[in-house]
């Protein structure tokens, strides 16, 4: 899939960098009553920056990733408020945007992947009146990693799996208090009744951890 081919450098870089410190990858989805939403993806390598390695060891593709997404989404109808942040000094990279509905979100993924036909990428999310569904993309991520030329994920650093040093968190914010969470034992309602979190590591995702969830509110 072209989308994963374009992001192979990101996988390779995360693996290389995680050998020295933990990396935080956070996905945040906020749902509004009209079925629109805000989406953000944040890559925090602050701990890595503190090691003194700096940006010399990071490829340009990673440093420019937020801008790549910002540029790719600017002409997608139904996508607005696109923001990209690349703070090289702190190792903080983020991209966020507002989407009109889940169909628009899918069009955005297609645009970023350079694809024309929707059946190639399944619905990543679906938003109903009182229900949110997020697809488990763990198998797709694992397949993309297996096809990558970089095999460092199979190695260990000081007895610890390299992929276990990459923390992955998904946060889902609903417009009303959550009534029930299904299809994922890792999904937990936080102290805020309108927020659900799924936490794990890249290693756990590779080994079959479910990244999907159904939330009723």
Write out the two tokens for 110.
Answer: 């297609």
pTM: predicted TM-score of the whole model, two decimal places: 0.81
What pLDDT is recorded for position 162? 66
| Statement: residue 178 has pLDDT above 90 | yes
**SS3 per residue for the chain:** CHHHHHCHHHHHHHHHHHCCCCEEEEEEEEECCCCCEEEEEEEECHHHHCCCCCCCCCCHHHHCHHHHHHHHHCCCCCEEEEEEEEECCCCEEEEEEEECCHHHHHHHHHHHHCCCCHHHCCCCEEECCCEEEECCCHHHHHHHHHHCCCCHHHCEECCEEHHHHEEEEEEEECCCCCCEEECCCCCEECCCCCEEEEEEEHHHHHCCCCCCEEEEC
What pLDDT is recorded for position 164? 80
Which has more confidence, 149 or 22?
22
Under 8 Å between Cβ of 90 and 118:
no
pLDDT bucket at 183, cuts 50 / 70 / 90: very high
What pLDDT is recorded for position 32? 98
- Dmax (CA) of the chain: 49
User: If you count them, how many residues does the chain have?
Assistant: 217
Instruction: Share the mean pLDDT of the chain.
Output: 81
**Dist CA 18 CA 43 (whole Å):** 12
The per-residue pLDDT for range 46-92, each reduced to its tens digit, is 755 555 544 544 555 556 778 888 888 988 999 999 999 988 778 78
Of the chain, the percentage scoring pLDDT greater than 70 comes to 71
Task: Tell me the residue range of the domain where 147 lies.
Answer: 2-216
What pLDDT is recorded for position 95? 92
| Window from 151-155, 197-201, 205-209 with minimum mean pLDDT | 151-155
The count of structural domains within the chain is 1
The per-residue pLDDT for range 118-133, each reduced to its tens digit, is 445 568 999 999 999 9
What pLDDT is recorded for position 20? 47
What pLDDT is recorded for position 50? 53
């Amino acid at each position: 899939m072209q989308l994963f081919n374009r992001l192979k450098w990101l996988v390779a870089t995360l693996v290389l960098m995680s050998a020295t410190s933990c990396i935080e990858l956070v996905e945040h989805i906020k749902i509004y009553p009209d079925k629109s939403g805000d989406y953000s993806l944040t890559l925090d390598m602050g701990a890595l920056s503190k090691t003194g390695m700096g940006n010399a060891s990071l490829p340009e593709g990673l440093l420019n990733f937020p801008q790549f997404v910002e540029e790719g989404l600017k002409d997608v109808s139904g996508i607005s408020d696109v923001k990209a942040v690349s703070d090289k000094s702190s190792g903080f990279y983020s991209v966020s945007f507002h989407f009109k509905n889940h169909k628009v979100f899918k069009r955005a993924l297609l645009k970023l992947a350079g694809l024309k036909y929707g059946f190639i990428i399944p619905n990543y999310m679906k938003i109903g009146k009182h229900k949110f569904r997020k697809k488990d993309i763990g198998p797709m991520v694992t397949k993309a990693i297996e096809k990558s030329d970089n095999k460092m994920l199979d190695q260990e650093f000081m007895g610890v799996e390299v992929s276990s040093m990459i923390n992955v968190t998904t946060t889902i914010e609903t417009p009303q208090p959550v009534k029930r969470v299904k299809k994922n034992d890792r999904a937990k309602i936080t102290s805020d009744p309108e927020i659900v979190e799924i936490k794990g590591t890249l290693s756990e995702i590779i080994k079959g951890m479910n990244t999907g969830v159904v939330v009723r509110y």
